[in-house]
Homo-oligomer: A and B are copies of this chain.
Amino acid sequence: MKDVAALSGVSLKTVSRVVNREPGVSAELMSKVQRAADQLDYRHNLAASNLRRTDRKTATIGLLLEDLGNPFSAAVLRGVEEVARARDVEVLAGSVDADPRRERELAGAFIARRVDGLVVMPSGNDHSYLLNDVRAGVQVVFVDRPPVHLEADAVLVDNTAGARDAVTHLLSFGHRRIGFLGDRITLPTAVDRFAGYRRALEAAGLSVDPDLVVHDLSTDDASREAALALLAQADPPTALFTAQNLITVGAVRALRQLDRHHQVAMVGFDEVPLADLLEPAITVIAQHPSAIGQLAAELLFSRLDGDTSPRRRHLVPYTVIVRGSGEIRHG
């Protein structure tokens, strides 16, 4: 910037005014400065600018997701990006990989880079480590799971209701023995989905048979094996509720392996890519991750714009997508 000022024969401050499009610079000086900047290939230094500015906005936000390679996380990222782009805000993104320590480290690394705000798909169950940063003005919005020991907006899906709907759907096709395959039970979403399973059964006058329930599945292969074991029982389930997308995929593989995919009914939580092209096509409770990301970003920016209304939870609706696997009748 100094060089641009020297070349165009004006003061530093005038160059700064031109670069920041501040009003009150004569057309003549403006074009002179522009030309000098072009000639020297000047690149504005946002970090330095931001250091001195009073508003201290870096126009950068941080996004902590479960796993950037997973389609669910990727779609949330895409949703956040779309809203951020409209405001010329850039996005730092990282995977937390179900590791609470990693979550803290990533958040710290982003804050050291002075992000204006954070969108967090949390892994840990204590977010008080962000208290001081929130006090210092960093805005935080949670997605997928609510914050613990911290007041912050959250964008959630009603996992209990979704799971209840899935299981009620299976019950309506005559099933009475419905297997449950679920994620790590430390995750609030997994707890809620299991609660929904239980409630649907209880509403039908049934109770949970522990022999039909497997928790703590975190890979599709673990799910495949769990499904194989369930179906090998003396009195096997006639239907499965798979409480997460990788789990659904594992169960599909198991049913194929046993050639029972046209006999055993199945409803999955979360959309699965190409679910409509499988035979049978998979009935799912679909979340809308891109809408979740968009809403989270919009909330974040409205907070950054000064909205101080009470923090609250926002529910994004889910959709029951009927495709065939969930409509296999029992008996």
Interface string of A237-275 (1 = CB under 8 A from B): 000000000000100110010000000000000001111
Given A111-B43, A114-B46: A78 and B68 interface contact (C-beta under 8 Å): yes
Number of interface residues of A (CB under 8 A): 52
Shortest Cβ distance from A109 into chain B, in angstroms?
6
CB pair A45 B112 closer than 8 Å = yes
Report B-chain residues with C-beta under 8 Å of the C-beta of A91: 92-94
Q: Which of A69-77, A297-305, A311-319 contacts B (4 or more CB under 8 A)?
A: A69-77
Given A69-B75, A94-B90, A273-B274: A44 and B279 interface contact (C-beta under 8 Å): no
Provide the residues of chain B in CB contact with A278, threshold 8 Å.
274, 277-278
Please name all residues of chain B whose beta carbon is closer than 8 Å to the beta carbon of A94 when the two chains form the complex: 81, 85, 90-91
* Contact partner, A46, options B88, B113, B256, Cβ 8 Å: B113
Query: Which of chain B's residues has its CB closest to A132's CB?
Result: B41
Residue from B69, B132, B274 in contact with A78 in the complex, judged by beta carbons closer than 8 Å: B69
- Complex CA–CA separation, A75 to B109 (angstroms): 22
Of chain B, the residue at the smallest CB distance from A75 is B69
- Which B residue sits closest to A275, measured CB to CB? B274
A232 at interface, CB cutoff 8 A: no
Q: Is A133 an interface residue (CB 8 A)?
A: yes
Q: Which of A47-55, A159-167, A189-197 contacts B (4 or more CB under 8 A)?
A: A47-55
Q: With A68-B74, A91-B94 in contact, is A47–B43 under 8 Å at CB?
A: no
User: Which residues on B sit within 8 Å (CB–CB) of A136?
Assistant: 43
Q: A90-B109, A92-B90, A253-B277 are in contact. Are A58 and B47 (CB under 8 A)?
A: yes
Q: Say how far A188's CB is from chain B's closest CB, in angstroms.
A: 25
Residue of A47, A91, A136 with most partner-chain B CB within 10 A: A47
Verify B58–A69 contact, CB threshold 8 A.
no
The verdict on A77 contacting B69 (CB below 8 Å), with A90-B109, A91-B92 known, is: yes
Query: For A290, what are the chain B residues with a Cβ–Cβ distance below 8 Å?
Result: 69
Q: List 7 A-B contacts (CB under 8 A).
A: A45-B112, A68-B74, A71-B71, A71-B273, A81-B93, A81-B94, A92-B92
Q: Footprint of B on A, CB under 8 Å?
A: 41, 43-48, 50-51, 58, 60, 67-71, 73-75, 77-78, 81, 85, 88, 90-95, 108-114, 132-133, 136, 249, 252-253, 256, 272-275, 277-279, 290
